[in-house]
Chain A
């Protein structure tokens, strides 16, 4: 079953349309301020679009939010967790809010703790975690109710290389099992390696869905308006003594 998503009309995002196949990993890249986070927030029911429609597995996110949100796992960027809770409590909280029962939630907390290398820290409050650890617990929070569609905003930011490769394996497994992943990132190499399809968003509108031989980074720089020669920073190389 294909997924179809349309947007439009919000100030930051102008008439963006895209669709993502089930079972694929979809990368969403763009320069700072292009509207990535805004678009992803509208897709997940966190930000009301000015106009347009979002369909997840045929269910309209903004007309039937409860049904649609059962299918979605979300990792937003720069939003806090309930950080007085311990990692285990936070995961349990998210699980039960999504309708997972007690025993299953406990088992999944153990599994995710092992898979993401969090076991030692699950009993500590989230506010004591480092930024990378918070990303890990956020990803676990998005995964714990076994959603069909994962929407991850900058999931790899501040995550160490070992954990990143763990993340990547996990997402691959999820997609191979029929799950759909939509993620945004600044890391072009990673997006190129990981994603089946990539969309580049520049200044509030999708420009291209990239396929073919040119490397993603080249294409991205080209679409975003090309490199501009850096001028007027001569003092930078005068090296004050």
Chain B
């Protein structure tokens, strides 16, 4: 029986390598998995457990990777998840099925990585007096991760009752993994830099008293804590095993939770947003940002432009580390400014908005959602890393504040500009580089005024941030000033832009009709 389920699992793994549209995704996932595996091996071999900071780093990295690995099975869309209920129609005893599924979970990418993570812990401690304890902790931890991932698969399939919910579960699982990997990278960098060691030790100390961290901290504890943590780990695993048998038995006799099938379902983003005017405009906007060549061009250019700027400055002789502060504000400014002609991008489809009883502000709010969804997480995720690389003390709040401020102010200005100063744009069916024949002087005015206005409104925060380079306490103030300017300007921009849009909608339609 066990070997049949294992065979099925291996066949599933093999089938993901079939040529087809999913092959690229499989290869990308595999590359990521190999990179993580290599990192675990290298870290396990090089970490120096006699050093308190290194020990703390081991705990944090171990805990972060545990969470990431446990949630990995949810990232592949649950299409072929080994969920107990799928075996309900076979003549199997629940106990044997529970054992088989547990064993099958160890085969496959997350299972192998979990085992490797346990081995990494053992190799880190192998030459010390607690090497034996590390072996026990590693085995317990790997088994716990594998079993927890099976619980999460069940929770995931319970939640994913509709196609939209399935997309949401997958997306959230992927987001968790990205965050966990970012934590790992940041931790390793901090440990290597040798600074902020105390923070690391505090975080690790807290984690060590939680289920995700206790086994990773066990080998480095004094005898009493070591025994307590190992015992805690054993209890955790026992509970997981006992609960697993119970849950498999229960699931086999409970009905599938599935929302009554809508055959007209599958509205994509529209299923995820509230059914309001601003909501559907946001969803429509998101679809265009991800599918329309004119928007996608911008998404490709976004990371490249700031890097080119950095390169130019570096060649001109500016020292490199502080230049890492440049990309995020430039990216935020560009992303906020880009939407200043959004209305013209709709071309004549704008009539749908003009003919509807549409509130101007709803139109404006819907259009700012995609850049906000792209920009804000990007800023929050990348700022700590870039601040660290820049080597400027205490610059993080200013970097986040100024970037967010530039993005929001840019969006506020654009909300007004696209209603007041719209100019002809590339047509939806043309190439992204096509320009309409009658661009006119208006285009130049709109573009430069939108950019200048954003700078002007943000100048107080920018100046304060500049003072921070001589007196670091200004950095925090610059951060607050940036964010509050941004929020204020966005609200004001949406309000004024909304009124202007409602008043000028027929003229805007007239403009796009003539291009």
Contact = CB atoms under 8 A, between A and B. Distances in A.
B275 A85 contact: no
Contacts, number: 106
B270 A93 contact: yes
B164 to A, nearest CB: 12
Contact of A81 (B268, B276, B349): B349
A131 interface: no
A179 B115 CA distance: 70
Interface string A170-183: 00000000000000
B262 A67 contact: no
B133 to A, nearest CB: 56
Contact of B277 (A85, A97, A109, A122): A97
Nearest to A94: B352
A46 B287 contact: no
A82 to B, nearest CB: 5
B280 A79 contact: no
Interface in B278-328: 279-281, 284, 287-288, 291-292
A47 B509 contact: yes
Contact of A80 (B275, B277, B349, B510): B349
Nearest to A127: B429
B287 A69 contact: no
Contact of B280 (A76, A81, A93, A122): A93
Given A80-B428, A96-B275, A96-B276, A85 B287 contact: yes
B356 A79 contact: no
Nearest to A98: B356
Nearest to A142: B355
B262 A83 contact: no
B353 interface: yes
Contacts of B436: none
Interface string A16-56: 00000000000000000000000000001111100000000
Interface in B467-515: 502, 506-507, 509-510, 513
Contacts of B355: 44-46, 69, 72, 74, 76
A140 B107 CA distance: 52
B359 A47 contact: no
B266 A88 contact: yes
A101 interface: yes
Contacts of A82: 284, 288, 346, 349, 352
B506 A46 contact: yes
Contacts of B359: 66
Contact of B358 (A47, A74, A89, A97): A97
Contacts of A89: 267-268, 270, 284, 287
Given A48-B506, A110-B264, A123-B266, A83 B280 contact: no
A82 B353 CA distance: 11
B264 A66 contact: no
A84 B352 contact: no
B280 A46 contact: no
Interface in B337-378: 346-349, 351-359
A93 B268 CA distance: 12
B267 A92 contact: yes
A106 interface: yes
Nearest to B355: A74
Contacts of A8: none
Contacts of A113: 264
Contacts of B263: 110
A4 interface: no
A45 B506 contact: yes
Interface residues on A, range: 35 or more
Nearest to B353: A97
Contact of B287 (A74, A84, A106, A127): A84
Nearest to B263: A110
B353 A46 contact: no
B123 to A, nearest CB: 52
A198 interface: no
A109 B271 CA distance: 14
Interface string B381-393: 0000000000000
A70 interface: yes
A184 interface: no
Contacts of A109: 264
A85 B284 contact: yes
Contacts of A86: 267-268
Contacts of A127: 429
A44 B277 CA distance: 20
A94 B347 contact: no
Contacts of A76: 351, 355
Contacts of B275: 96, 101-102, 105
A84 B356 contact: no
A74 B509 CA distance: 15
Given A80-B349, A83-B349, A88 B357 contact: no
Nearest to B513: A79
Contacts of B348: 78-80
Contacts of B428: 80, 83-84
Interface in A94-128: 94, 96-99, 101-102, 105-106, 109-110, 113, 122-123, 127
Contacts of B287: 84-85, 89
Contact of B357 (A67, A84, A93): A67
Contacts of B353: 97
B264 A65 contact: no
A86 to B, nearest CB: 8
Contact of B264 (A44, A67, A106): A106
B264 A98 contact: no
Contacts of A106: 262, 264-265
A79 B264 contact: no
A76 to B, nearest CB: 5
Nearest to B502: A65
B351 A65 contact: no
Nearest to A79: B348
B280 A96 contact: yes
Contacts of A98: 356-357
* Most B C-beta atoms less than 10 A away, residue of A48, A72, A89: A89
Given A88-B267, A109-B264, 14 more contacts: A45-B355, A65-B502, A66-B358, A72-B355, A80-B348, A81-B352, A84-B291, A89-B268, A92-B270, A93-B284, A94-B352, A97-B281, A113-B264, A141-B352
10 contacts: A46-B506, A47-B510, A74-B351, A84-B288, A88-B267, A92-B267, A94-B356, A102-B275, A110-B263, A122-B264
